Amino acid sequence: QVQLVESGGGLVQPGGSLRLSCVVSRGTLDYYNTGWFRQAPGKEREGVSCLSSSDGSTHYADSVKGRFTISIDKIKKTVTLQMNKVKPEDTAVYYCATDLLSCTLYRGTYYRRNNNWGQGTQVTVSS
């Protein structure tokens, strides 16, 4: 059973920065792609960013491209999402996952091998 613990969320003003972390307490980062998702009230969970396990390439939803950066520390088994120039529409609960089947978005999300989710971390962008 893969255990994921997200942290780093909070209240931030528009244009500010926030750094989210995802600690993988159980499981591996070696076999599937790693990514971040988010879900706002009344909306479907959407894919935000994906890091390819095959070549290390990074992928982003158009809505966050150029502002967010995904990275991974395989020794500490931690996935990070650096959020810069945040906007009110970034407000959502953010989740990480380590079993993305690909880094291609389909209908706004990434397909996963399993559906295990952590508690997520709340990001609120407001002045």
In this predicted model, what pLDDT tens digit does every residue of 66-96 receive, in sequence order? Answer: 999 999 998 899 999 999 999 999 999 999 9
pLDDT for position 28: 76
% residues pLDDT > 70 (the chain): 100
pLDDT at residue 25 greater than cutoff 90: no
Mind giving me the DSSP string for the chain? --EEEEE--EEE-TT--EEEEEEEEES-SSSSEEEEEEE-TTS--EEEEEE-TTT--EEE-TTTTTTEEEEEETTTTEEEEEE-S--GGG-EEEEEEEEES-S--BTTB--BS-------EEEEE--
pLDDT for position 102: 96
Q: Quick one: pLDDT band at residue 3, thresholds 50, 70, 90?
A: confident
Q: Quick one: pLDDT band at residue 37, thresholds 50, 70, 90?
A: very high
Instruction: Give the mean model confidence (pLDDT) for residues 8-25.
Output: 96
